[in-house]
Structure 1
Amino acid sequence: MNRLQVDSHRLRETAHWLYHESGLRSVNITGRDAWLIILARTCRMFAFGGTSLIMALFFTTLGFSDPQLGLFMSMTLAGDTVLSFLLTFMADSLGRRRVFFGSGLLMSISGLVFLYFENFWILLLAAVIGVISASGGDFGPFRAIEESVLSHLTNPQTRSDVLSWYVVTSNLGSAVGIEVAGRVIEELKRRDGWSEIRIYHAVFGAYIIMGVANMVFSCLMTDHCEITEPVLSIDEGAQVTQGLLSNSDEEAEDEIVPPTTESPVEQKKSRFAEISSKTRSVMYKLWFLLTVDCLADGMVSYTLTNYYLDRKFHLPKSQLGDLMSTNYILGSISTVFAGPLSRHLGLVNTMVFTHLPSSMAVLLFPVPQGIVLTVILLFIRGGLNNMDQAPRVALIAATVKPGERTAVMGITSTLRTLASLLGPSITGALADSDKFWVAFVAAGALRVAYDLGLWAMFINVKLHEHEESDQDTSKARRVADEEESTD
Structure 2
Amino acid sequence: MLPPHTHRDAGVLLTTRGIRGFVDGIISLSITALLPLFGFSGLQIGIIVTGMLLGSAAATVLVGTKGYAVPRRTLLFAGSALMIATGTLFGLFTSFVALLVVGVIGTLNPTAGDVSVFLPLEQSMLAGTTPAVSRTALYARYTFVGGIAGAFGTLAIRIPEAIAQHTAMSGEAALRWCFAVYVLAGVVVLLLYRRLDGAEASAHAAAAEPLGRSKRVVYRLAALFSLDAFGGGFVVQSMLALWLFRRFDLSVGAAGTLLFVTGTLSAASGFVAAWLAARIGLVRTMVFTHLPANCFLIAAAFMPTMPLAVTMLVLRSLLSSMDVPARTSYVMAVVSPAERAAAASVTNVPRSLAAALPPTAAGWMLDQSTFGWPLVIAGTAKIVYDLLLLRQFQHVRPEEEQAQDAR
What TM-score range do you get, normalising by the shorter chain? over 0.9
TM-fit CA distance, 1:227: 6.3
Q: Distance in 2 between matches of 1:363 and 1:222?
A: 46
SS in 1 for 2:172: helix
Match among 188, 193, 200 for residue 218 of structure 1: 193
**Which 10-residue stretch deviates more, 385-394 or 90-99?**
90-99
Q: Distance in 1 between matches of 2:122 and 2:398?
A: 21
Q: Distance in 1 between matches of 2:77 and 2:106?
A: 13
Instruction: Give the partner amino acid of 2:60.
Output: S
Specify the alignment match of 2:265 in structure 1: 330
Map 1:355-374 to 2 at 5 A: 355-374=290-309
Instruction: Give the partner amino acid of 2:225.
Output: L
Specify the alignment match of 1:65 in structure 2: 41
Specify the alignment match of 1:424 in structure 2: 359
RMSD of aligned alpha carbons = 1.9
Specify the alignment match of 2:135 in structure 1: 159
Q: Distance in 2 between matches of 1:201 and 1:25?
A: 36
1:292 and 2:267 equivalent? no
Match among 191, 202, 205 for residue 166 of structure 2: 191
Superposed CA offset, 1:184-225 (max 9, x none): 123112233211110110111111111111111110111322
Map 1:84-483 to 2 at 5 A: 84-181=60-157, 183-226=158-201, 228=203, 268=208, 271=209, 274-276=210-212, 278-434=213-369, 436-464=371-399
TM-fit CA distance, 1:151: 1.0
Superposed CA offset, 1:55-108 (max 9, x none): 122111110112111111111111111111112344442111111111111111
Check conservation: 2:206, 2:342, Cα contact below 8 A.
no
Instruction: Give the partner amino acid of 2:305.
Output: G
Instruction: Give the partner amino acid of 1:330.
Output: L
TM-fit CA distance, 1:432: 1.7
| Change in CA separation of 1:265 and 1:165 when aligned onto 2, cut-off 3 Å | closer
Check conservation: 2:206, 2:339, Cα contact below 8 A.
no
Check conservation: 2:222, 2:348, Cα contact below 8 A.
no
Check conservation: 1:92, 1:227, Cα contact below 8 A.
no
Instruction: Give ranges in structure 2 of 5+ residues lacking alignment.
Output: 403-407
Q: TM-score, normalised by structure 2?
A: 0.94
Instruction: Give the partner amino acid of 1:209.
Output: L
Instruction: Give the partner amino acid of 2:57.
Output: T
* Runs of 4 or more above 4 Å deviation: 264-267
Specify the alignment match of 2:56 in structure 1: 80
Check conservation: 1:92, 1:406, Cα contact below 8 A.
no
Superposed CA offset, 1:373-407 (max 9, x none): 11111112222111111111111111111111101
Instruction: Give ranges in structure 1 of 5+ residues lacking alignment.
Output: 1-23, 229-263, 468-487
The structure with more radius of gyration:
1
Superposed CA offset, 1:412-450 (max 9, x none): 111000000011111122112216522111111111111
TM-fit CA distance, 1:162: 0.3
Q: Distance in 2 between matches of 1:411 and 1:212?
A: 29
Q: TM-score, normalised by structure 1?
A: 0.79
Check conservation: 2:161, 2:174, Cα contact below 8 A.
no
Specify the alignment match of 1:473 in structure 2: none
Q: Distance in 2 between matches of 1:136 and 1:175?
A: 8
Instruction: Give the partner amino acid of 2:181.
Output: A
Q: Distance in 2 between matches of 1:285 and 1:406?
A: 17
| Change in CA separation of 1:283 and 1:328 when aligned onto 2, cut-off 3 Å | same
**Which 10-residue stretch deviates more, 133-142 or 374-383?**
133-142
SS in 1 for 2:90: helix
Q: Distance in 1 between matches of 2:205 and 2:247?
A: 53
Instruction: Give the partner amino acid of 1:194.
Output: M
Check conservation: 2:269, 2:319, Cα contact below 8 A.
yes
Check conservation: 2:12, 2:192, Cα contact below 8 A.
yes
Q: Distance in 2 between matches of 1:266 and 1:115?
A: 34
Check conservation: 1:185, 1:317, Cα contact below 8 A.
no
TM-fit CA distance, 1:155: 2.4
SS in 1 for 2:91: helix
Check conservation: 1:178, 1:324, Cα contact below 8 A.
yes
Aligned length: 401
Map 1:1-80 to 2 at 5 A: 24=1, 26=3, 28-80=4-56
